[in-house]
Amino acid sequence: MGKLRSLTTTLRKHEPVQRRVVPSASDQRLAGRALQARRLKLWTANPYCRGCGQLTVYPHGFELDHIVRLDEGGADTEAAVQVLCVWFDELGQKHGCHAAKTAEEVREGARKSKYE
Ligand SMILES: [Zn+2]
């Protein structure tokens, strides 16, 4: 009996510690099917790029862009995202309005962290 008890105690020690995980803004993004459904819905409503106005191709010719970035307090709702064109060159590099906006935000972020 004493032996069993000590074994139970040992096992208990190895139970994983329950951590409270606070989801970050990026974890709260839609993923999987819900995201695909949103993409189709918004693209069907208006398939033109909000950046350059060109007609985008479903499903790989556009991405949903958060007008206000999630990490800057933007909401992850249909009203808060827009269709922006993307295309990939033969090297797999992303181009188009969404790639340009993301690059701009990265530069902006670098500038901010330098001067704030
Ligand atoms: Zn565009």
Torsions phi, psi for 88 (to 5 deg): -115, 135
For ligand 1, the distance from its centroid to the CA atom of residue 22, given in whole angstroms, is 35
For ligand 1, the distance from its centroid to the CA atom of residue 99, given in whole angstroms, is 9
CATH class assigned to 29-115: alpha beta
Interior angle at CA 103, CA 29 and CA 51, nearest 5? 80
Residues at Cβ < 5 Å from ligand 1 ion? 49, 51-52, 85, 97
The model's pLDDT over 78-98, given as tens digits with 9 standing for 90+, comes to 999 999 999 999 999 999 999
Burial class (CB in 10 A: 0-12, 13-18, 19+), 100: middle
For ligand 1, the distance from its centroid to the CA atom of residue 98, given in whole angstroms, is 7
pTM for the predicted model, two decimal places: 0.70
Domain boundaries, the chain: 29-115
Tell me the C-alpha distance between 83 and 33, whole Å.
18
Q: What pLDDT is recorded for position 112?
A: 78
